[in-house]
Amino acid sequence: MTHGMIVAPQPEAVEAGALVLRRGGNAVDAAIACALVQGVVDPQMTGIAGFGSLHLYLPRKGVHTFIDFHGRAPAAATPGMWEDLIEGETRDGFGFILKGRVNDVGYQSITVPGSLKAYFEAQTEFGTMAWRDIVRPAIEHAERGFVVRPHVHRFWTRIEGMGRVEMPQRFAHTPAGRRIYLDTAGAPHAPGTCVRNSDMARTLHRIAEHGADIFYSGEIAEEIAADMARNGGLLSYDDLKNYRTTRVDPLWGSYRGCSIATNKPPGGGIMLLEMLNILENFDLAALGHNTPQYIRTVAEAMKRATSDKDRFIGDPAFVEVPVARLLDKRYARELAAAIESGERATVERLGAAESKDTTHVSVIDEAGNAVAMTHSLGMPSGVVTEGLGFMYNGCMGVFDPRPGRAGSIAPGKSRFSSIVPTITFKDEAPHLVIGAPGGTQIAMGVLQAILNVLDFGMPILDAVVAPRFSATSDLIDVSNRIPNFVTAALEAEGYRIARSYLSYAFAAVHGIKIENGRWTGAADPSHDGMALAV
């Protein structure tokens, strides 16, 4: 009997989750084991000091919910504390560049982390195995070391030139980071190098024994708070102790006869559903996949959803998000009519891309339980507390330093994130379990994979590997596999095109398709992962 299927960007993490399924664990057990290993073998993409959104569908228990664990601004943060430091905004509108990069790297860049609390709550409430057994694979990987894979090294050494602190400088920010991630010449470890992190292994041993409480109100919390206080951080012991995850029902939409369940703000599900609502008014299959007409139509939907996100979407505990209006099918028809008439949307920007320091896991098991979780460090802060081994998130960098806006800084507030762990349903049963890392491009990548399946009938592998594009500004960004003769036609219409040198770009979609009781999975080739059934 097949126990389940798991898909993620890291093969070591996929194997850990698959072994949990083989040992009788359910999809939740597998997803959390996978997530913990991801934090060891891809430690700048995610970790126990990150944030994310966990989509749980457990039909036999009557459970369909989200555990949202976005990072929150510490209590010491104030709306105008960085207003005088603004130098610019990233070109795709996700993050601000400040003098001294204080929001981007270092102790003030850290929001209150939610990942470990969410992992623990999900597994102990909905899993079937002992918590310590779920943590054990991550401990083993930390103790024996992980081999630096090509995508990890590419991420560690990339030079983006966006005005942010580059990854090698992040590693050098603390002595512990230098010791773990840099070689004797001060460069990130080369591909094939085995990186051991005994400090992280000891931290995970403590967490395996005492659960998440030790991190949020116990000894580890005290160690974190002391380090923050010594180095001018905003994060405090009380911030950790008072952190709570948020349980919310899915945000629902429909497309081509399928029901779409995704996350609520401050997650990116509302953008995904708005774009689908707009595009449902077009015969995309008749336009042809990735033709100039198709790219123009989808790009204009992307731009309109991006503009609405910028104006209206933030933490619903702090701003009133007009969800009903943004998801009204009549509103979508108005936007579609404007696109059809040739109107072009304009996306306002201050002037320089959200970091893609994120990962994802999709799982389904033999009982029909499905989990999609996207979790992240946002932008790694570069901070590693001596003796603890993990790097903290750097999510203060995506807050708007201008007071009075949907994304402005406020104590306890979470910032919008494009993460969209999504399940689509056909005939009331899961049809796609899908999500992606990729910063502000996440919603755009997941959108195109869903269109590829529902409009073009592609198998999940074809849907994931098909060339993608994105429009989160007035440019249309395209991957290098979209032919020049296609983009030339768009340029002739007056569109500005930015061609990526990458063949696989704009998020890294990982998904499972369920059809006629059969599972097929696909891992995006831009990363190193895999789909594995056991």
List, for residues 230-271, the tens digit of each pLDDT value: 999 999 999 999 999 999 999 999 999 999 999 999 999 999
Amino acid at 142: A
List, for residues 417-456, the tens digit of each pLDDT value: 899 999 999 999 999 999 999 888 999 999 999 999 999 9
Closest CA to 179 of 388, 356, 381, 376: 388
Which 3 state secondary structure label does DSSP give 382? coil
Residue 352: the pLDDT is 34
Residue 358 a catalytic site member: yes
**Of residues 46, 111, 203, 358, which has the active-site annotation?**
358
Rounded to an integer, the average pLDDT of 185-205 is 96
Any idea what DSSP says for residue 74? -
Counting every residue, how long is the chain? Answer: 534
In Å, how far are 168, 207, 220 from 36, measured between CA atoms?
24, 11, 17
Which tokens is 473 given? 């500004």
> How many Å apart are CA 482 and CA 119, to the nearest integer?
39
Phi-psi label, residue 58: left if phi above 0, alpha if psi -120 to 50, beta otherwise: beta
Closest CA to 493 of 284, 307, 339: 339
Percent of all residues in the chain with a pLDDT value above 90, rounded to a whole number: 86
pLDDT band of residue 349 (cuts 50, 70, 90) is low
Is pLDDT above 60 for 350?
Answer: no
